[in-house]
Amino acid sequence: MDKKHTSLETLEDLIRIQSVNPFFGEEARGEGEVADYVEHRCRQAGLEVHRQPVSAGRENVIAELRVGRPNNALLFEAHMDTVSLGSMENPLEPTYADDRLYGRGACDTKGSLAAMLYAMEECARDPEQLSSDVVLCASVDEERAYKGILAFVNSDIAVTGAIVGEPTYLGIVVAHKGCARFRLETRGKAAHTSVPHEGDNAIYQMAEVLRVMKKDVESGLARLDHALVGPPTVVVATIRGGTQVNIVPERCAIEVDRRVIPGEDAREVLDGMLDILRERLQNSGVEVDVEELLLDWALDTSPESAVVRRAQQVASGLGLDDSLHGVAYGSDASKLQQLGGVPSIVFGPGSIAQAHSKEEWVPVEHVERAAEFYVGMARGFGRTDDGA
């Protein structure tokens, strides 16, 4: 039997560590133990390592391999947190079956993190081969509010290109959607259900809001499109109303997720939807309170940027798909691009179809190929002789 690739052994270690984002419940442990593991591995490799405080008990781990090229630095970034364990069987026990490795976080995105750690260690063994400095950021809070990457962007660590680890099925992603998430609440008047005319049903009010969302907001999206990520979408994802069956509900709330495409601005999108609602509900007697939940940018990286051109060269050399792709989900990459001005791609093992699922897994070969891809990126980024 062939010797197991080091990146797989690392991924097994990471799966065994529970790192559920604290937002997802009292049993969530957060990223601390993974941060300890990453720091230890990077220090063993001789890298310069520090912890960046983000919020109480939550820190990014930043490892740097400096070879005297401060004006040319490649960033590897992957998040340490996962979603809840849910109903997944043995979520913290790495299990192999049918050339797959199962476990919570296997593809989202501990597979990428394990492969990036391998790349950092390989580069540290032979730094003379590097044409750029290399930085690893293992970040917190991607699954909730992107606080980790926002803290990194606000640091004084300069990078000139970035690879963000997410499950792209080993495809080079240069575009993805952002989002505008918000909460709407209607306010009515409580009354006994035996005399409903003495109350004002907030759920009925919300029905009017939903009608507008379906007829006037959602229908208008069909005319928009993007070549790589497709059209924008809007989903009413949650609804809560009433307290018990014999009381006319005085409150009803929905949460809405509007995905924005490259070329759209999330703030303008949200304001535009609210304008439509106000116009359509004028004189209807429906009162709506608005709470902004999250505004996030779309990713749109130029195919001519150095990180994209190098990625295509490395992919081609490894026999991987070197075409450029877009995805519907979001990632930390858009924050690096929009706030930090860092040309960024998304690349990693596994499929988004398995992320957050009851049977999360990653193809074994994907982790190994991703590890070699990251090594190739680090060793050739910024070279003038290869066009990147």
- Looking at the chain, which runs of residues are DSSP E strands? 48-55, 58-65, 73-79, 95-97, 100-102, 133-139, 161-164, 172-176, 178-187, 233-241, 251-260, 288-296, 299-300, 324-327, 344-346, 361-363
User: Which amino acid is present at 294?
Assistant: L
The reply to whether 322 and 343 lie within a common domain is yes
Which pLDDT score, from 0 to 100, does residue 386 have? 47
Distance of alpha carbon 82 from alpha carbon 14, whole angstroms: 11
- Residue 70 pLDDT grade (very low, low, confident, very high; cuts 50, 70, 90): confident
Domain that holds residue 374: 6-176+298-380
In the block, tokens 């993805």 appear at: 176
With 90 as the cut, is the pLDDT of residue 388 above it?
no
The reply to whether 125 and 263 lie within a common domain is no
- Angstrom CA distances, 343 to 84, 175, 300, 307, 315, stand at 31, 11, 9, 7, 18
In the block, tokens 């409580």 appear at: 190
The predicted model scores a pTM of 0.93
Report the C-alpha dihedral over residues 48, 37, 140, 103, rounded to 10 degrees.
140
The reply to whether 193 and 88 lie within a common domain is no
169 Cβ neighbours under 8 A, 6+ residues apart:
349, 350, 351, 366
Distance of alpha carbon 44 from alpha carbon 102, whole angstroms: 27
- Angstrom CA distances, 167 to 80, 183, 331, 346, 373, stand at 14, 29, 10, 8, 14
Distance of alpha carbon 16 from alpha carbon 91, whole angstroms: 8
Q: What mean pLDDT is predicted for residues 320-333? A: 97
**Residue ending a domain, choose from 296, 320, 343:** 296
The reply to whether 194 and 169 lie within a common domain is no
User: CA angle 340-342-346, nearest 5°?
Assistant: 115
Exposed (0-12), middle (13-18) or buried (19+): which is 150, by Cβ within 10 Å? Answer: middle
The rounded radius of gyration (Å) of the Cα atoms in the chain is: 23
Closest C-alpha to 75, from 156, 135, 157: 135
Instruction: Tell me whether residue 238 is in a domain.
Output: yes
Instruction: Tell me whether residue 240 is in a domain.
Output: yes
Q: Can you give the CATH number for the domain in which 82 is found? A: 3.40.630.10
Kindly state the percentage of the chain with pLDDT values over 90. 93
The reply to whether 124 and 149 lie within a common domain is yes
Total of domains in the chain = 2
Instruction: Tell me whether residue 152 is in a domain.
Output: yes
pLDDT digits (tens, 9 = 90+) for 215-240: 999 998 988 999 999 999 999 999 99
Instruction: Tell me whether residue 339 is in a domain.
Output: yes
The reply to whether 41 and 163 lie within a common domain is yes
* Strand partners of residue 179: 259, 296
Instruction: Tell me whether residue 385 is in a domain.
Output: no
Instruction: Tell me whether residue 387 is in a domain.
Output: no
Kindly state the percentage of the chain with pLDDT values over 70. 98
* Strand partners of residue 236: 256
Q: Can you give the CATH number for the domain in which 240 is found? A: 3.30.70.360
The reply to whether 193 and 172 lie within a common domain is no
Helices (H), the chain: 6-16, 32-44, 111-125, 147-153, 202-212, 266-281, 306-317, 333-340, 364-380
The reply to whether 44 and 89 lie within a common domain is yes
Distance of alpha carbon 326 from alpha carbon 231, whole angstroms: 12
**Residue ending a domain, choose from 256, 280, 296:** 296
- Residue 1 pLDDT grade (very low, low, confident, very high; cuts 50, 70, 90): very low
Neighbouring C-beta atoms of residue 197, cutoff 10 Å? 7
**Residue ending a domain, choose from 296, 324, 353:** 296
The reply to whether 115 and 136 lie within a common domain is yes
pLDDT digits (tens, 9 = 90+) for 14-52: 999 999 999 998 789 999 999 999 999 999 999 999 999
The reply to whether 15 and 106 lie within a common domain is yes
User: Which amino acid is present at 148?
Assistant: G
Q: What mean pLDDT is predicted for residues 352-379? A: 97
Kindly provide the b/e burial profile for residues 245-276, where b requires at least 16 CB atoms within 10 angstroms of the residue's own CB.
Answer: eeebbbbbbbbbbbbbbbebebeebbebbbeb
Distance of alpha carbon 37 from alpha carbon 14, whole angstroms: 8
User: CA angle 153-158-163, nearest 5°?
Assistant: 70
pLDDT digits (tens, 9 = 90+) for 172-192: 999 999 999 999 999 999 999
Instruction: Classify 62 in phi/psi space as left (phi over 0), alpha (psi -120 to 50) or beta.
Output: beta
The reply to whether 144 and 16 lie within a common domain is yes
Neighbouring C-beta atoms of residue 151, cutoff 10 Å? 20
Instruction: Tell me whether residue 386 is in a domain.
Output: no
